[in-house]
Amino acid sequence: MAKLTMTVNGKTVSAEAEGRTLLSSFLREGLGMTGTHVGCDTSQCGACVVHVDGQAVKSCTVLAHDVAGADVRTIEGMANPDGSLGKIQQAFQDHHGLQCGFCTPGMVMSAAALLAENPKPTEAEVRHHLEGNICRCTGYHNIVKAVLAASGQDVSKIAAE
Amino acid sequence: MHNFDFVKPSTIAEAVKALSDGDAQALSGGQTLLPSMKQRLAAPGTLVSLTGIAEMKGVCKGDGGLHIGAATPHAVVAREAAAHYPALAALAGGIGDPAVRSRGTIGGSIANNDPAACYPAAVLASGATVVTNKRQIAADDYFQGMFTTALEEGEIVIEVRFPIPQKAAYVKFNQPASRFALTGVFVAKFGDGVRVAVTGASNNGVFRWTEGEKALSSSFSADAVKGLSVDPAEMISDLHGTPEYRAHLVKVLTGRAVAQANG
């Protein structure tokens, strides 16, 4: 065990962690931040996506000690300062971009990474970017719609399927 | 996974020293090694992270081509190589998914030499040079079969130097679940000839399709390979494809890559 310090959602945090502790475990078990979900634990499903220094990563496949000192952002950091839903989260609610909600933290973090790099993506770009995020409920259509809406684009012509 | 000691050196010399312990293993982006360790296929006593070594990161134009630091993630190559070597940038931008591309590195990919990985095809087709802490290794000597390279114990890939071809393209046929290449072909046309490297298809890992190279060196067109056939004898057989299917893909994808390279 060794002490590990990083910035999570703007706050400096420290906790003890073993060499093998994954970033996902550090967040959930070390810091009690269970918004980051672990679906497959094999880097397939994307439920555990967080940002490390602005880059989307699968936190189940990153060692916590390997990102010591980094600036980490999780789903808990996506709400507005007053606690209301952030823009992407609100779009997911407005467009029914979730059903069970398990994949949603990863979807929102992946979407945020996309919009930071490409503020007005096309539908094809959104679908390509979300390749590493698996949702077993929605069929993706409303997730894609929510991301496009969050980018400020008109989605009224995208029919619900 | 079993526990281990974690160290993160900031220089190559420190990393080499840490790796001299026989039970130590180098860790780059970890997108293959960490899943392998979870499955207990690997259980090193010490993991030596190479991602904190500044001199092993970055993309720059250098002597004879494009130099890419071994610890440079795929996403950075996709972005920064685009202006210099578009086919290589496109290959990097098509590996795995965006979150995997944020972490996975070129050095990790070619040190592992997975028979279905994309980068080995680019390195071999480009005739790149693999620079380690000890020496420079030509791509033709570096890849020595599935998961096997010329690297010795404790030797680290520092940089890969790519000559830039006149024309090039990489086309892969995705295995839809893993997004690894069921077969992938990288075609590179240089002033003195064409090189064709195939990944995903052979039991011997990445290889050069010399018959295709010969035909394309006389005529760089998709039609030039149409009459050829690829021997399925050494091709991988699994539930995703027969050897004959993969052999056929080698030819088809080479044609598509040439068409794409010709724009």
Q: What is the pLDDT of residues B37-91, one digit of tens each?
A: 999 999 999 999 999 999 999 999 988 899 999 999 999 999 999 999 999 999 9
Which of the four CATH numbers 3.40.50.300, 3.40.190.10, 3.40.50.2000, 3.10.20.30 does domain A2-77 have? Answer: 3.10.20.30
B84 contact A CB<8A: no
Read off the pLDDT of each residue in B216-244 and give the average, rounded to a whole number. 96
CB contact under 8 A, A66 and B99: no
Phi, psi of B24 (to 5 degrees): -95, 150
* pLDDT tens digit sequence for B107-155: 999 999 999 999 999 999 999 999 999 999 999 999 999 999 999 999 9
Cα gap A64→A26, rounded to integer Å: 6
* B8: confidence class by pLDDT, cuts 50, 70, 90: very high
Residues of A in contact with B37 (CB under 8 A): 20
CB contact under 8 A, B51 and A66: yes
What burial class does residue A161 get, using C-beta atoms within 10 Å of its C-beta: 0-12 exposed, 13-18 middle, 19+ buried? exposed
In this structure, are residues B110 and B142 in contact, taking their beta carbons and an 8 Å threshold? Answer: yes
For domain A87-150, the question of CATH label 1.10.260.40 is answered with: no
Give SS3 for B156: coil
- DSSP string over B214-228: HHHHH--SGGGGTT-
Give SS3 for A63: strand
CB contact under 8 A, A58 and B8: no
Cα gap B261→B189, rounded to integer Å: 9
Cα gap B154→B164, rounded to integer Å: 30
**Please, which contacts does B32-40 make with residues 24 or more away whose CB atoms are closer than 8 Å?**
B32/B104, B32/B108, B32/B112, B32/B114, B33/B108, B33/B112, B34/A22, B34/A43, B34/A61, B34/A62, B34/A63, B34/B1, B35/A42, B35/A43, B35/A61, B37/A20, B37/B1, B37/B2, B38/A41, B38/A42, B38/B1, B40/B1, B40/B2
Cα gap B3→B80, rounded to integer Å: 36
- DSSP string over B31-85: TTHHHHHHTTS---SEEEE-TT-GGG--EEEETTEEEEETT-BHHHHHHHSTTT-
Parse chain B into domains and list their residue ranges: 5-49, 54-162, 167-261
Amino acid letter for position B14: E
pLDDT attached to residue A158: 78
Residue B21 pLDDT greater than 90, yes or no: no
Q: Please tell me the CATH code under which domain B5-49 is placed.
A: 3.30.43.10
Cα gap B258→B245, rounded to integer Å: 20
Q: What CATH topology corresponds to B54-162?
A: 3.30.465
A61 contact B CB<8A: yes
pLDDT attached to residue A41: 93
Parse chain A into domains and list their residue ranges: 2-77, 87-150
pLDDT attached to residue A145: 96
CB contact under 8 A, B35 and A61: yes
Cα gap B152→B184, rounded to integer Å: 27
- The interface predicted TM-score of the complex, written ipTM, equals 0.94
Give SS3 for B194: strand
Which of the four CATH numbers 3.40.50.2000, 3.30.390.50, 3.30.56.10, 3.20.20.70 does domain B167-261 have? Answer: 3.30.390.50
A113 contact B CB<8A: yes
Cα gap B54→B70, rounded to integer Å: 10
Nearest beta carbon to residue B38 from set A41, A114, A133: A41
Residues of A in contact with B3 (CB under 8 A): 18-20
User: What radius of gyration, in Å, describes the C-alpha atoms of chain A?
Assistant: 16
Fold agreement (A2-77, A87-150): no
Read off the pLDDT of each residue in B156-170 and give the average, rounded to a whole number. 98
In this structure, are residues B115 and B202 in contact, taking their beta carbons and an 8 Å threshold? Answer: yes
CB contact under 8 A, A61 and B30: yes
* pLDDT tens digit sequence for A17-35: 999 999 999 999 999 999 9
In which residue ranges of chain A is pLDDT below 50? none
pLDDT attached to residue A159: 64
- Nearest chain A CA: its distance from B166 CA (Å): 29
